[in-house]
Each structure stands twice: as C-alpha cells, then as structure tokens.
Amino acid sequence: GLGLVSAGIGAATATSPLFHDVDEITSSASGERKRPWWVKEVDEITVETDWNAMKRFNARDIMQCSLADRIGRNKLDDLIKLSMNNRKQWILENKPGYTLRDFALFTGANFGWFDGFSKCFTGDKRTSPMSGLGGSDSDVFYLNFGIDGTEQRPGSPDALCVPLPGFPVGGLAVPRWEGTPEENLRTVRAASRFYGCDEIGVGELDSLKGQKMIWTQDWDGKHIVFEDVDHGYETGPFWGGVVQDKEKRVIPTKARWYISLSQLMSDWNIKRAPTLFGDFTTAENYSRLHYAQIRLQRFIKALGYEALAGFMFINTTSNNPGMATLNGLGEHGRIGQLVSPEFGALQRLAGIITDMPLTPSKPIDAGIWRFCSSCSKCQENCPPQALSASDPVTYDVKGTWNNPGKKSTWLDGVKCASFWYEATTLCGVCVASCPWSRQDKSWVHDLIVKPSIASTTIFN
C-alpha cells in the first residue's frame, strides 16, 4: 500500500493512514471538511461590505511594494541601514531571539519562500507535469544537469537531458480526469492535505465578489487580465528582469474556480515575535506553503486542468485573506486578516485558479467578527500602534494601501512596515495576541470557550 503522511502541522498530521490508491484517499476523511458544530454557513460574509464601492486593487499599492512612495526613498534607505545595523549589533550582543543561531535558523527557513522555488504563474517552469492535453518538449519532466552545476533548459548543448521513464516527449495524451464537482473537491482537498495544507476553501471567480479579489496589477508590475483563451500564460520575464507596462498574466475566462489554501503556524514560535526566532515561523510556513502550492498546481495540471498561481510575496494573484473569507475558511477580523474558528489568525494563505469544476464553499459565521467588536487585544499589543484600540469601525480607510469597500478597522501600513525595519524582522504580535489563535487543544477551550465566544460579544 501507499502510506501517506501529511507535511502539515495541523490535524492532518495526527494520523498516518494507509491507502492503496487515490480513490481511497478521496473517499477517506482526508477529502472531507469537519468543522465545529457552532460554525454556520451563511450567504454573506459577516463584515459589512459595499460591493459596489469595492474595486479590484493594485498589489503595487500594498505597503511591501510602496513604502518608498509613502515615506520617500531617503527615509527608506535610512530604515534599511538601521535594520542592518540593528541586526548586526544584536547578533554580536547575543540578544535573545536575535543570536547568530536564530539568524541561521531563519535563513534556512527562508529557502522556498524567497529562494529555491520557481515563482512562475503557470507553475514550476522546471517541472511541468504530464496531462491529457499533450504538449511539446517543454512539457516533459527532465532532469537537467548543467556542466557548471546550473539549471539548463531541455535542448541546451550544455545540458544532459534525461527523460524519466513513463514520461515520453509530447506528453502521455491520455483523457483527463473527469469527476463531479464534489468528487473533484474531495480529490483536491485530500491531495492538498497530503502536500502540506491544513484546509482549503473554494470560490467562483465569475461572481462579482470573487473577481474583485484578483489584483489589477501584480507585485512586479504585470497586469492581471481575463481573456477567452484555452490556457493561462504570462508575457515578459517570469522572474527577475525589467517588466514593461504592457506585460501581463492572463487568466482564461473558463478558469472559474479559486482554491484558497491554508496552513497552520506555530503558536509557540510566533509568541516570540518580533524577533528572528519568532520570524522563523513566518518564513518556514511561507516556504512550506509555497512548496505545497506548487505541488498542488502540478497535481491539478497532471489531471488535465489549468492551475494558475503566483509568488507568495504579495498574496499570490489575489487578496488572499479576502478570497479566503469569501471561500469560507474564516471571517474577516479586527486584525485586518483572516481569522478562522480552528486556527484563529495563526495561518498563512495561498491560492490556485483552475478550470476544474469544484463545489464552492459558502462564507461562515462563527461569531468571530461580532467578538472582534468588543475585543482589542491585537490593537493593544501592536508595538508601533499601527492598529489602535481607539480606531473606529468605519468605511473610511487610513491610506491608499487600504482597499475601500468594507466597514472595518484599518491598518496604518506605514507604521507597520516601518517597524519591520526597526525590528529587522516581520512582526506578528497581532497574530499571536488574537484570542482565537490559542492552540492549546484543551477540550474545555474547544467545548466551552470558543462556542461561548461565537455567541456573545462580551466574552473577553
């Protein structure tokens, strides 16, 4: 048989089931979603939203891409210099959470997030799986060994190209997998857990709400557009290089489904934020989730369908928390991020766009947004006060880094991003402070506390 153990750190790792084929995996509990009894499916997300006012947003306006525009290039250069000086000084001082060993742990965890994997929209360019769609030489999985140790494309005179057994040039040309939307959902959910995700949700991109979560322009300047084509594609350099304004990433209009991927973080590590040791869990999760996303892309493509995604520097191709809220993984929280009944804010998100028919998920009401109205732990504990306990719930945004349209509290992105440089790491104090993020696995907490929170606004 085929013994499958999930790479995730959530519920999927609690058991090590023995399966003989994918049919058994799909029909097992791995293909199901089991939620607490007090989580209700609803037709609308719980945060008040004016969908006519909300527009598709430009990822280049998010603070990670636009801080220099907000504070000026000279100020940003000063922050970068301060960040490097602080990091070096704290390592030399053996400051707790910033020692050389903490730095080494963080650096290793970064492999796969910023380094090590392809960032290609259509999947890992180095390994394109077989499908019933046929293909060309570039669709074949090759082992490429360049003379100088670098990666080479098939056909390069400096490459030794070795087609693997069972992967002939031109593709297998077999019929693609055909299942009902529910069967497809169970199959994708089971595979996602095997690859390291803890949960998935599915939404439809042909809805007014779903499309508004897709960026108008990606983090690197490429426009994201919908076209009536058979396969998604992108123009210009897929990683690095100068991006011209005309370059684009194209989503086929037939790719109507968006799969939101979620992976649980370590509550123990994130409580050490903001330090290098605390930031390790952010880097480690993004690296593992990026790995899981690429593998799930390959899985879906090997079944004969489109699978489009993006580099997880800026939420892949969409506003991941917003999409995951629509897709029922959790609710919008006061923190400004997704908060789920199972994981709280302790999760990282990714997503894949596909033309594989999937049964969509509905938004949920677990009482999270109602609870947020009387809780301000994330705001009280925010080191730079980018979240403030005095902030009202309003439609009025704090800056152009916010996307208008929902009635919420709003993050001061300049304060938040500037603090990252001072601390030399990402933060995460707000994530760790959220009462929903408690992962003590106590039966009392799950049986009494969270259901109580879900049904009252004063349980603090």
End-to-end CA distance of the chain: 49
Amino acid symbol at 351: G
For residue 159, count other CB atoms closer than 10 A to its CB: 18
State the DSSP H helix or E strand holding residue 305, giving kind and residue range, or none if neither.
none
∠ CA 103-107-111, nearest 5°, is 165
What is the residue-wise DSSP string for 179-199? --HHHHHHHHHHHHHHHT-SE
Give the pairing of strands 347-354 and 2-3: unpaired
pLDDT of the residue at 453: 59
Question: Mean pLDDT, consecutive 10-residue segments, the chain of 460 residues?
Answer: 38 52 71 85 96 93 89 93 93 93 86 64 55 37 33 40 46 77 94 94 88 91 94 81 84 96 91 90 89 89 88 78 96 94 94 96 95 91 92 92 94 94 93 87 51 53
Residues 433, 271: Cα–Cα separation, whole Å? 8
Contact of 329 with 251, CB cutoff 8 Å: no
**Which runs of consecutive H residues, i.e. helices, occur in 47-140?**
63-71, 73-92, 100-109
Residues 426, 273: Cα–Cα separation, whole Å? 8
Omega within 30 of 0 (cis) for the link into 274:
yes
pTM over 0.75: yes
Closest CA relative to residue 239, chosen from 256, 215, 222, 261: 222
What is the residue-wise DSSP string for 142-180? EEEEETTSS---TT-TTEEEEEPTT--TT----PPP---
Residues 408, 372: Cα–Cα separation, whole Å? 10
Contact of 355 with 252, CB cutoff 8 Å: yes
CA 12, 14, 19, 24 dihedral sign is: negative
∠ CA 451-457-460, nearest 5°, is 75
Longest dimension (CA), the chain: 69
Question: C-alpha dihedral over 390, 394, 400, 403, to 10 degrees?
Answer: 130
